[in-house]
Amino acid sequence: MNFFTWVYIFLFFFGIFFLTIFMFLHYRNRYRLFSSPAFTKHYSVSFLVPAYNEQNSLVETIEAIVNIDYPTDKKEIIIINDGSKDNTKEIALELVKKYSNVKLLDKTNSGKANSLNEALKKATGELIAVVDADSYPQKDALLKMIGHFDDSSVGAVTSRVLVKNKPNWLGKFQVMDYSIIAWTRKLLDFVDSVYVTNGPLSMYRTALVKKLGGFDPKNLTEDIEITWHILSEGYKTRMSYDAIVYTTVPEDFKTWVKQRVRWNLGGLQTVQKYGWAMFQKGAFGHFVIPYVTASFIFAIIGFILFFRYIWIKGSYNFFSWYYSLQGYPFWRYFDYTVSFTLLLFLGICFFVLAIWYYNLGFRNSETGNKSVIKIVAYSFFYRSLYVIPLIIAIYKLARGDIRWYTK
């Protein structure tokens, strides 16, 4: 059995291993997916809405927050205009005039994390809720999340993000993608391993975030970094699967790549920063960090193996095309040894489990049942595109090119 065969077997084994864990978590907790603890107290909440050139979506976002089912005197809404070059500031001023609990923090451009930190100094709520300026929480979202904070060990709670715009093939694939991301995150909730509190709508204990020094302005994904910081301090993070927020996603491939490059850069930065906690500090060190780190490593290995396969097969087909036209039986060169059979078996098991897993996720989300053809297209076509922003992110990280990449 050669080296590359062992690598393939290793990748398939761990893929099957993680899929089995998630399937088990689903089976064990399938009746608790949509349950959230009832709230017993109306905590005061400060909504922080960082905005940079968001003139087209800011009004709808603020009105969605204003209309959330929660006492008005318990809601404070702070719009942070991060040096926008469009009419965001003027629109924000109109919203301040229209709603008594809406405030504007106007500042020079310095990034999302710094904007949140500036607003954190002025926030008066016991909890802060971060909402992206192109996201729209459902009316009952807050009530589905806030009950988690009755547990003093909970430091942050996140929501389920759904796609608002889906005009083309990319948008439709992102609907499926966000469904799987949310469902997987909820399964991780059952083992205290929610490692991302998403930007469209997440809540935090104000005092805890201040104690931790706020959001890290050096990290391109401040939502991932603050979550890992909270977990590293021994606090829990939760997800309310029934708390829904809609967000605007990229509508063209170039913008999609930029967004995912930022996600990958921030994720890699976070792994570097908290690598010291590997195999320490409970579920965070024993599962979250190894799982995320392995995901990056396996993706790179898969990318290398894929191009190795293309190179070998390409060369083979190039030099053998003449004989193929003569009807030569090239299947005879497949050597059905024990190692090849094992590899084939593990590969089939992995892909069947993956399709089954995705199907379960879609059935437990707003997307509903999907045909096998659509699931296969999502699995083999769309998911394979993930490697493009990852490779770009690794290249930029190696060069020290850490800049904000927006949608």
- Residue (of 133, 149, 191, 175) closest to 374 by Cα position: 175
β-partners of residue 103 are 78
Percent of the chain with pLDDT over 90: 71
232 pLDDT more than 70: yes
What pLDDT is attached to residue 44? 97
32 pLDDT more than 60: yes
5 pLDDT more than 60: yes
* Alpha carbon of residue 227 to chain centroid: 12
DSSP readout, 350-396? Answer: HHHHHHHHHHHHHHTSTT----HHHHHHIIIIIGGGGHHHHHHHHHH
Q: Is 379 left (phi over 0), alpha (psi -120 to 50) or beta?
A: alpha
8 A C-beta contact, residue 158 and residue 198: yes
325 pLDDT more than 60: no
Helix axes 289-325, 3-29, angle to 10 degrees: 130
β-partners of residue 80 are 50, 105
Alpha carbons 220 and 262: distance in angstroms, whole number: 6
Task: Encode pLDDT of 385-399 as tens digits.
Answer: 999 999 999 999 888
Q: 68 CB contacts (<8 Å, ≥6 apart)? A: 75, 137, 139, 140, 141, 142
pTM greater than 0.95: no
407 pLDDT more than 50: no
Q: Name the average pLDDT for the chain.
A: 89
Task: Encode pLDDT of 299-309 as tens digits.
Answer: 888 778 767 66
Task: Encode pLDDT of 247-292 as tens digits.
Answer: 999 999 999 999 999 999 999 999 999 999 999 878 999 999 999 9
Q: Which two tokens stand for residue 215?
A: 């959001």
Percent of the chain with pLDDT over 70: 90
What pLDDT is attached to residue 322? 55
What pLDDT is attached to residue 228? 97
What pLDDT is attached to residue 326? 55
Q: 204 CB contacts (<8 Å, ≥6 apart)? A: 127, 128, 129, 130, 155, 156, 197, 226, 230
Task: Encode pLDDT of 340-360 as tens digits.
Answer: 678 778 888 999 999 999 999
What pLDDT is attached to residue 6? 78
What pLDDT is attached to residue 368? 82
C-alpha torsion angle, residues 62, 64, 67, 71 (rounded to 10)? -70
* Alpha carbon of residue 377 to chain centroid: 20
Phi, psi dihedral angles at 242 (to 5 degrees): -95, 5
CATH number 3.90.550.10 given to 35-253+262-275: yes
Cβ count within 10 A of residue 310 = 10
- Give CATH 3.90.550.10 domain extents, the chain: 35-253+262-275
Task: Encode pLDDT of 152-195 as tens digits.
Answer: 999 999 999 999 988 789 999 999 999 999 999 999 999 999 99
3 pLDDT more than 80: no
What pLDDT is attached to residue 324? 56
Name the band, by pLDDT with cuts 50, 70 and 90, for residue 242: very high
Name the band, by pLDDT with cuts 50, 70 and 90, for residue 4: confident
